[in-house]
């Protein structure tokens, strides 16, 4: 028996793969530009495929949204390692939180994702959330070990606060607000004494 994975997956056909990526790319731009309610048929057309093809790859709007979102979040999560290697714990944490802010500032990707949230919150976040959470937890863990952060801090709390800031991005200075908030959060997370 070959050691290769034999779990059903027969093979992905090359044109299918191409189309999938094409759709994802167009969708990302469309959602970012016009919000999460953009016509899916339009996205299909812009990607040069029929509606049927789009729906075969992503049966629901939410699934497409999630796929786009997950792809982007993956990039963010992978930045954790770099910071962890280059900076002292507390600074690595701060840097990553700030990157998080910059990232969603540039991409505005949180809005579409949130939109989908209304339908079924868990689905959309489940996968990417886990990945992001893992990255953040690693950073917090190191900062706890070095004594910069108090033991009982739940990393999710920080994450939630930050994601929130992005959503309430009504005023133009929201990004600065987010930066100040990072400081508040870190200060508030220090050991009691």
Partner DNA sequence: TGCTAAAACGGAGTTAGTCTCCGTATCTGT
Partner DNA sequence: ACAGATACGGAGACTAACTCCGTTTTAGCA
User: Residue 3: phi, psi to the nearest 5?
Assistant: -80, -10
User: Out of DNA, a second copy, none, which partner does residue 41 contact, by CB within 5 to 8 A per kind?
Assistant: DNA
Other beta carbons within 10 Å of 172: 7
Q: Is 170 in the site for a second copy (CB under 8 A)?
A: yes
> Buried b vs exposed e over 121-155: b needs ≥16 C-beta within 10 Å?
eeebbeebbebbeebbebbbebbbeeebbeeebeb
Choose one: 25-33, 51-59, 102-110, 178-186; the region binding DNA (CB under 7 A): 51-59
Contact 188, 123 (CB under 8 A): no
Choose one: 48-56, 72-80, 95-103, 163-171; the region binding a second copy (CB under 8 A): 163-171
Contact 26, 54 (CB under 8 A): no
User: Out of a second copy, DNA, none, which partner does residue 184 contact, by CB within 5 to 8 A per kind?
Assistant: a second copy
Choose one: 90-98, 99-107, 137-145, 174-182; the region binding a second copy (CB under 8 A): 174-182
Contact residues: a second copy, CB under 8 A: 35-37, 111-112, 114-115, 117-119, 121-122, 125-126, 129, 153-154, 156-157, 159-171, 174, 177-178, 180-181, 183-189
């Amino acid at each position: 028996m070959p050691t290769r994975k034999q779990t059903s997956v027969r093979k992905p056909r090359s044109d299918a793969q191409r189309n999938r990526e094409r759709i994802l790319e167009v969708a990302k731009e469309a959602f970012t530009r016009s919000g999460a309610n953009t016509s899916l048929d339009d996205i299909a057309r812009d990607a040069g495929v029929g509606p049927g093809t789009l729906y075969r790859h992503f049966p629901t709007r939410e699934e497409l949204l999630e796929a786009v979102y997950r792809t982007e979040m993956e990039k963010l999560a992978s930045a954790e390692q770099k910071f962890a290697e280059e900076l002292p714990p507390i600074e690595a944490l701060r840097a990553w939180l700030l990157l998080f802010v910059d990232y969603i500032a540039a991409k505005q990707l949180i809005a579409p994702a949130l939109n989908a949230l209304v339908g079924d919150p868990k689905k959309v976040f489940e996968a990417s959330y886990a990945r992001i959470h893992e990255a953040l937890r690693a950073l917090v863990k190191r900062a706890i070990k070095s004594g910069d952060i108090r033991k009982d801090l739940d990393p999710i709390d920080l994450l939630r606060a930050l994601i929130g800031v992005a959503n309430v991005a009504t005023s133009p200075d929201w990004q600065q607000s987010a930066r100040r908030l990072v400081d508040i959060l870190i200060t508030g997370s220090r050991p009691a004494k």
